[in-house]
A = this chain, B = another copy of it.
Amino acid sequence: MKGKRTDFGGADCAIARALNIIGDWWSLLIVREAFHGRQRFGEFQKRLGLAKNILSSRLKKLVQEGIFSTEKDDLTSGHRYVLTPKGENLCIVLIALWQWGEAHCFAPGELPSEMIDTRRGRPLQVLHLRDSTGRRIGPREFRLAAKSSRPADRAGVSE
């Protein structure tokens, strides 16, 4: 049976694997700070105000998981934590969280900041689920399926 069973609940689920890496409050907030330009231990510590041992263990795991690489810091005796491409791709998770939080966790007018593009200075487009043709779909219009249940032909899959 091994190899045929699709276990949506365990390690075969991409959500579960992603959460295994970044599924803790502090890890995603550290990544958020990195997007804001922070690179040094002291900068993360000052911004997040968390205990040094916790920050240290989270950074260590994020390096092990390939979210950050470390580079020698010319200014201090330590090193800098630099987002890898894998880490940078977490931007979509952060923006999804931001937009959901913006829509559901603030009173109208309460949120004093916004995510803007650096070129035009305008709010980012709201993320929407879309099928492979680009049509917007709702939260009840997608499902998980075993790949073997679908023809192997991937033609027409748009990204």
Residues of A within 8 A of B (CB): 3, 6, 8-9, 12-21, 23-25, 28-29, 32-33, 35-36, 47-49, 66, 83, 86, 88-106, 111-134, 137-148, 150, 156-159
Measured CB to CB, the nearest residue on chain B to A111 is B14
Contact A142:B25 (CB < 8 A) given known A89-B104, A131-B119, A131-B122: no
Within 8 Å by CB of A12, from B19, B66, B113, lies: B113
A120 in contact with B96 given A113-B12, A113-B145, A125-B158 (CB within 8 Å): no
Given contacts A14-B106, A114-B145, A116-B143, could you give 16 more A-B pairs where the C-beta distance is less than 8 Å?
A: A14-B99, A15-B32, A15-B94, A18-B104, A20-B25, A88-B138, A92-B100, A92-B127, A93-B93, A115-B143, A115-B145, A120-B131, A122-B132, A125-B130, A125-B131, A125-B159
Q: How far in angstroms is the closest Cβ of chain B from A67?
A: 9
Question: Could you name 13 residue pairs across A and B whose Cβ atoms are closer than 8 Å?
Answer: A3-B112, A9-B33, A15-B32, A19-B29, A20-B105, A23-B25, A92-B96, A92-B127, A113-B146, A113-B147, A114-B147, A122-B156, A125-B129
